[in-house]
Structure 1
Amino acid sequence: MNVKSELLATLAKANGNFISGAALADELGVSRNAVWKAVKSLEAEGYSISSVTSKGYRLNEDNNRLSVNLISPLLRTKELGRNMKIYEEVESTNNTTKELDSDAVPNGTTVLADRQTAGKGRIGRSFVSPSGVGLYMSTLIRPEFSLEYAPMITAAAACAAAEAVEKLCGSPVKIKWVNDLYMNDKKICGILTEASFGLEMRTLDCAVIGIGINVRSAKEIFGEELCKTVTSIQDETGIIVNRNRLCAEVLNNLEVYLGKIVDRSFLQEYRKREYLTGHVVTANIGRDKILGEAIGIDDNANLIVRLSSGEEKHLSSGEANLCRIADN
């Protein structure tokens, strides 16, 4: 038995309450001195643990170290996150997940990293991923639904992440079609889904859902230019969200929302949060650029844009942004 791991998991399950040294020793089947040594070792690794005479030990909410032992007790999932790998640093959690033998690892296998050196965004962009600041995670799924539903995976994941952030910070979160989360008109999260198709392009073998959420303040790291459009939960709300708890909430929600893709019931939540609807937008479709009013989301999670001619375009891919009109 790994005393440190068992101790950490036990403290995590206590939900911020104190547990006496004697109770911990009995539960773990070790001496109180062994408990004390394990606590000191965990503290040396960066975990924040309070120790109060006559009360015992408590895992503090301000812990910022990612740990399977802190995430697993908070999971309500059947499969997602039940097999989890955490790294100090990777180039990209999506790449690391794709390098796994997808036939061998369980459905729902999740990879997290404290830092990404080459975080991936859509359309070949990078996702700035400094250490200790964000939640960078990728989950491998093998959907049972047919290929036609694949384009809706990202939209379902956006609902899951938005709901998780909103629950833990209490501030409203919007979804900017198709894959970004916004708070106070700035981006806090990006989602990138990469799929693997069958040889005849008729089946969806697996998909890797990458989610990057800016959790703690990163103004000094992002720089002035990036901060014009990108922000974090802490910078917008003043609340420091626990990354382990946020990870668990995202996975709990994601399993639910993936189950709502076939009947499209998740679209009600997506439409409620969608950021562009009702505004004039510019959209890039390949090399073409259009201008029109975003009027809603169709049943395939496509953005509907009405042109000045009255023609309606249903965008299944590309990028759309609010049209910024300069004041005269």
Structure 2
Amino acid sequence: MTTKEKLLALFEEHKGIYFSGEELADKLALSRTAVWKGVNALRSEGYVIDAVPNRGYCLSEDTDILSAQGIQKYLNEACSSIQLNVLPEVTSTNSWLREKANGGAREGCTVISGRQTAGRGRLGRSFYSPENTGIYMSILLRPEGITPDRAVKITTMAAAAACEAVREVSGRPAGIKWVNDIFIDGKKVCGILTEASLGMENNSLEYAVLGIGINAYAPQGGFPDEISRIAGSVFTERQKDGKNALAAAFLNHFMNYYISKDHSVYVNKYRDMSLAIGKEINVISPEGQKKARALDVDDECRLVVEYADGQKDCLSSGEISIRLI
């Protein structure tokens, strides 16, 4: 670790606590000059580090900047395989990680960024990813013996984990709009995009890149006009360490589901958090829209619907529209 990384790890573990320059130098086996330079480097990145004579340095408890050190302190044992890469900006976290995956990166390699310049959503759409307001994350997965049609479970697993994380950290009533969007009070706060690479010999999954974008805060001046009607944020005001806590909560819930052999746990959670069950919906397909009623989510996380003519269907992919408020 660099001097800056060592200092940040210690400060994140002890937010609000003062350390003298001498204490920091002794704890981290650094010189006083190196400590001073490291503190200034962190300040240049936006960290609020107070310096008080006879007390030393202290990382403000109000700090809310994404960092590997800030996330790591919240992770549980299920995340032992996670290798965090936190970057200030990328074109797309999924694109960045696919390049690493093709180069042989291990399962658990994870990239998190505070901004995407070319964020991607489902069906070729762009994903609005402004600076310092969101969490944009991709995780590399290499599940064994999974066929492409089973890969949808990764997406629904992530939706359940994201919804739980949002509820846990914000205390707000988040729900899942099938298949994989998280909504609060009728506004979308999170989207998920899973991309897969297939093995040519056996048509099984070589790897999957799970991408998730969470609007932690509304951007200054509000969301762009084209998405202002639908886009929302997890938090209504700035939080102490909100983004690190939210990113870690998602990783904890997702990895608990991913390594569990009892997938019924996340399926039941997904079903309980569904915003569609019991509602009148429009099923959207290339042929157009068709009115239906959502009856249930089955054990494969398919949406069970009944059309006006009484015909039932189990939807494994696609989109629906639904009146949420």
Partner of 2:277, secondary structure, is: coil
Alignment CA distance shift 1:82-1:284 (3 Å): same
Q: Match of 1:199, as an amino acid?
A: M
Determine the structure 1 residue equivalent to 2:129: 129
Determine the structure 2 residue equivalent to 1:153: 154
Normalised by the length of structure 1, the TM-score is 0.89
Partners of 1:186 and 1:231 within 8 A in 2: yes
Alignment CA distance shift 1:268-1:145 (3 Å): farther
Instruction: Please list every run of 5 or more consecutive structure 2 residues that lacks an aligned counterpart in the other structure.
Output: none
Determine the structure 2 residue equivalent to 1:25: 25
Determine the structure 2 residue equivalent to 1:2: 2
Aligned ranges 1:1-328 → 2 under 5 Å = 2-53=2-53, 55-77=55-77, 82-102=82-102, 104-144=104-144, 146-147=146-147, 149-200=150-201, 202-218=203-219, 220-234=221-235, 237-240=236-239, 242-260=242-260, 263-322=263-322
Q: Match of 2:271, as an amino acid?
A: R
Instruction: Please list every run of 5 or more consecutive structure 1 residues that lacks an aligned counterpart in the other structure.
Output: none
Alignment CA distance shift 1:99-1:31 (3 Å): closer
Alignment CA distance shift 1:54-1:250 (3 Å): farther
How far is 1:175 from its partner? Answer: 0.8
Tell me, in whole angstroms, the C-alpha distance in 2 between the residues paired with 1:311 and 1:30. Answer: 71
Partner of 2:264, secondary structure, is: coil
How far is 1:121 from its partner? Answer: 0.9
RMSD, matched Cα: 2.4
Tell me, in whole angstroms, the C-alpha distance in 2 between the residues paired with 1:78 and 1:265. Answer: 15
Q: Match of 2:224, as an amino acid?
A: G
Q: Match of 1:232, as an amino acid?
A: S
Tell me, in whole angstroms, the C-alpha distance in 1 between the residues paired with 2:252 and 2:18. Answer: 26
How far is 1:47 from its partner? Answer: 1.1
Tell me, in whole angstroms, the C-alpha distance in 1 between the residues paired with 2:201 and 2:109. Answer: 26
Per-residue displacement from partner, 1:90-119 (whole Å, max 9, x unpaired)? Answer: 221111111124462111111122221221
Q: Match of 1:7, as an amino acid?
A: L
Tell me, in whole angstroms, the C-alpha distance in 2 between the residues paired with 1:286 and 1:16. Answer: 55
Partners of 1:64 and 1:132 within 8 A in 2: no
Alignment CA distance shift 1:56-1:166 (3 Å): farther
Alignment CA distance shift 1:87-1:186 (3 Å): same
How far is 1:279 from its partner? Answer: 0.8
How far is 1:314 from its partner? Answer: 0.6
Tell me, in whole angstroms, the C-alpha distance in 1 between the residues paired with 2:132 and 2:300. Answer: 36
Count of matched residue pairs: 323
Partners of 1:175 and 1:181 within 8 A in 2: yes
Tell me, in whole angstroms, the C-alpha distance in 1 between the residues paired with 2:60 and 2:242. Answer: 10
Q: Between the two proteins, what is the percent identity of the paired residues? A: 39
Deviating more after overlay: 170-179 vs 255-264? 255-264
Tell me, in whole angstroms, the C-alpha distance in 2 between the residues paired with 1:56 and 1:253. Answer: 37
Partners of 2:79 and 2:252 within 8 A in 1: no
